[in-house]
Structure 1
Amino acid sequence: MFRRIMRGRVFGTAGWTILSVAVSAVTGIFTARSLGPAERGSLALVVSIAGICALVGALGTNVAVRRHLPQRQSVNRAGYYRATILLVGPLGIVLLAVVYAVAAYIDPDFGKPAVGIAFAGYGIAYYFSNQALDLLNALGQVRTSAMVNAIGTLLCFGMVVAVALFKPSLALMVWAYTLSVVGQVVISALIVRRVTDRERSRPRGVRILIRDGSRLLGFNVGQSIVYQGDTVMLGALSTRFEVGVYAVAVTPAAVLRIPATALGQVLFHDVASGVATRRTVAKRLSVLFAVLVPTALVIWVLAGWLIALVYGPEYASAVEPFRILLIAEILLSPFIVVGRTLAGVGKTWGASTCGLTGVVLLFAACFVFVPTFGAIGAAVASAVAYGAMSALAVILFFRSPTVATRVVVPNVGAD
């Protein structure tokens, strides 16, 4: 019974994630062809930096709620809502400060009022979207959360196509992304109202969420910085053209992240609820590698043909970074799964240590490789950071006590 439920939720989540990544890849093609490498690089910086700011502004509350809400003791939804609202003001200040810093040191396009305002709008919208999606995850609606995310990517695709046909510009592209995540917030709110009872109790657990969330910043923000920081560091240490080429390599390589992300999302909720064991995690990892490695080999062989066909000959230099990123994604997959299980069993400092280790190694490796090798150097730096994060996560998790001594059927209502 447990295996059937796990299989249904993992594959259901993976299916929606596949759709999301596929649509994002097509969206990336439209932006790459309509904006060109330089402005495509600026768009990549906007999305990357705003995403990092939003996660920093959340102080890890979106991860902490996934740990505490399934236990239904110290935290309730009203407390999560209050914590979310309280953190909006500081986030706005962070976004404005970042606009000035990036305009001065990385990309002068951020200094344009239209781009700066669009950047801030996207950062705030992404913050609410991320908080809403993780509330669904905390409620056990993992597959539904993936579905809402996929719907958001479809909305983004439609708006990007409209902008590309009407008047392609960096600011309008950013607003297209912004409106799509606003759509995710609205849909998530409607689903939460449908799947839960109306809560009449007073807000509970605000301090707990902020306290434990802060401890998880190293995990949550750390992994985001590692995922996005290579693009930002490439922009700081190289050119916008290199960033545009690298953005083209990153998008298709992220396809390999789909199975690990789906598995990690499900196991996060199950270990927090006490229904998964350490042995379960190990078995799922072995199956994951059996899927990922052959897939990566096929994509590696076809890389040159795929990049030229989809993006055009001006992006031919993205082939080598793309191949290196395929290796990096294989190295990352254990962290995606095991890092979440560490957080799910309350190993907050362990999970954060993995993320912070990746940040330190990524920045150090970027300073070594990027000035000389450009986009290829950024890909190598990512591989170094990903491998270290996964190794540390596996060591910490499998040296810890068993997650649960027996497997039970998850709570009714978790999809």
Structure 2
Amino acid sequence: MFDNLSEKLDKALHVLKGHGQITEINVAETLKEIRRALLDADVNFKIAKEFTNRVKEKAIGENVLTTLQPGQLMVKIVKDELTELMGGDVTGINLNGNPTVILMSGLQGSGKTTFSGKLANYLKTKKNKKPLLVACDVYRPAAIDQLHVVGVQVGVDVYSDRGNNDPVSIAKSAIAHAKTNGHNVVIVDTAGRLAVDEQMMKEIANVHKAIQPHETLFVVDAMTGQDAVNTAKAFNDILNFDGVILTKLDGDTRGGAAISIKSVVNKPIKFIGTGEKMEAIDVFYPSRMADRILGMGDVVSLVERAQEQFDEEEARKLQKKIAKNQFGFDDFLTQIQQIKKMGSMKDLMGMIPGAGKALKGIEIEDDAFKHVEAIIHSMTPEERANPSTINTSRKNRIAKGSGTSIQQVNQLMKQFDQMSKMMKMMQGGSGRKMMQMMGGMRGMR
């Protein structure tokens, strides 16, 4: 996520991080490189120029040239301006209706249908809502089927009317159905359309007028770069939407859309899609994204994700096992499953300060644990419960059964032993203090 931009901004700011003399000349050179980095990330030239002008004004106002730590102060100024450029404060979704009606709009192929499912899953699991997905794409042959498949995946009802080609009447009937059947959120998935298609744009305007949604969201593929910003403006002129959804932010995106879109349409980015799984949806926090772009990580989001998978009862059981030296490979496997539920490994690593830079050029696959899981599944129940029983003969059998090498089995055994010792140490006061600190971070925004 924003790897190229992060690298270029880091180089631009590096000149001010050293101990050499800071002058107006190298501050100007730094700002020039920052502007170049933003342009390379597909940020509009005018926005990039205005951004660096504001940074320059603040830098002069903060006396960057005379401060003891000019590099750090410049990073803070750039971070604050990036945060402001992407929206400043986090903006939540309006759920005040009964039912709340949410209209999804966007280009063809932007990921509206998939994201409608992700949003339904988010509202169901995180907000304790009972959503209804509505199939209003009457043009794409497989659109209705796709939405039904998504609905099954997330355990949410889908309303469709295959014999009806009028999205306005389908949407209105769906809202009536929701009221009758106790659904408190209605997510209307519309057909993808081009901004230049006057008839299709008029159609979605008619749907919008007929159902008066509480939230109109514009879904855009982040990988389309500056075109995404231009399209957002065209849709906003017609719908006056309430917020933006950026999908495919986990791809090889330059980041221009995320940085520019708020300035152009003056509408907040509300959610981002960070992967293919239905759980891969995040509320957009401008300040956290600015931290990640500048290579500072996002520890708060990482802790929040961990706590979402945290089961207090299971944690107590695990604590007792660790205290009695009964921590086994079944417990280890459970921990791996919880980590996998937190999201893609690449995304998680990007939340750790400095990890993105350290792992530059190293591809982190989502199936990074597959060999570990295969090895554990090749163990007998007794071996998983009592790792100390695994001798050389058993290791050879496990390696053959899992399709791995004896070296990989030995490496896992060593890592498991180290982790067991570390967890045992964390049973002490310092471990409890650390867990309390993590708990306190949960409320941070």
TM interval, shorter chain, is under 0.3
Q: TM-score, normalised by structure 1?
A: 0.27
Higher helix share: 1
Higher strand share: 2
Q: TM-score, normalised by structure 2?
A: 0.26
Structure possessing the higher relative contact order (Cα contacts under 8 Å, 6 or more residues apart)? 1
